[in-house]
Amino acid sequence: METCDDVPGEQPHGSWRIRMLEQLRGPDLLLASNALLSLTYHEDDRDWLQTLLIDCVARGSDRQLRALSVTCMGHVARLDGVIRDDVLQLLRDLRSDPDLGGTAEDALDDVTSFADRR
């Protein structure tokens, strides 16, 4: 199974992030999903995280992990109260995707309810 093989431009820092990225790239969907959720809730570099989530949607081949990445975009909006414009645009574009449209709508509801754009 291919997951999010390409991480954003920065090199990972800290052993925790390295472990999470290894699990995210690994063959075990449960570990990859848990790693993505852990990064969403605990990663300090929120811009880096949003880039990672975009990358997981754009390059990931596993439908479940792509959907979870979209859900995590909504979590970022809810947790942080802000979301980047490129993430918002991706969510809008995904509304017409047959696999991710409903999940994108849910994430957009979180953005509308909890976040400003930046």
**Sequence spans of domains, the chain:** 15-117
Closest CA to 33 of 75, 13, 62, 58: 62
| Model pLDDT for residues 64-84, shown as the tens digit of each residue | 999 999 999 999 999 999 999
Bridge partners of 117?
A: 83
Say if residue 60's pLDDT is above 90: no
Q: Say what the pLDDT of residue 9 is.
A: 43
Pinpoint the alpha helices (H) of 60-100: 63-80, 85-94
Q: Say what the pLDDT of residue 13 is.
A: 59
Distance CA 65, CA 67 (A): 5
| Model pLDDT for residues 103-113, shown as the tens digit of each residue | 999 999 999 99
How buried is residue 4: exposed, middle or buried, by Cβ count under 10 Å (0-12/13-18/19+)?
Answer: buried
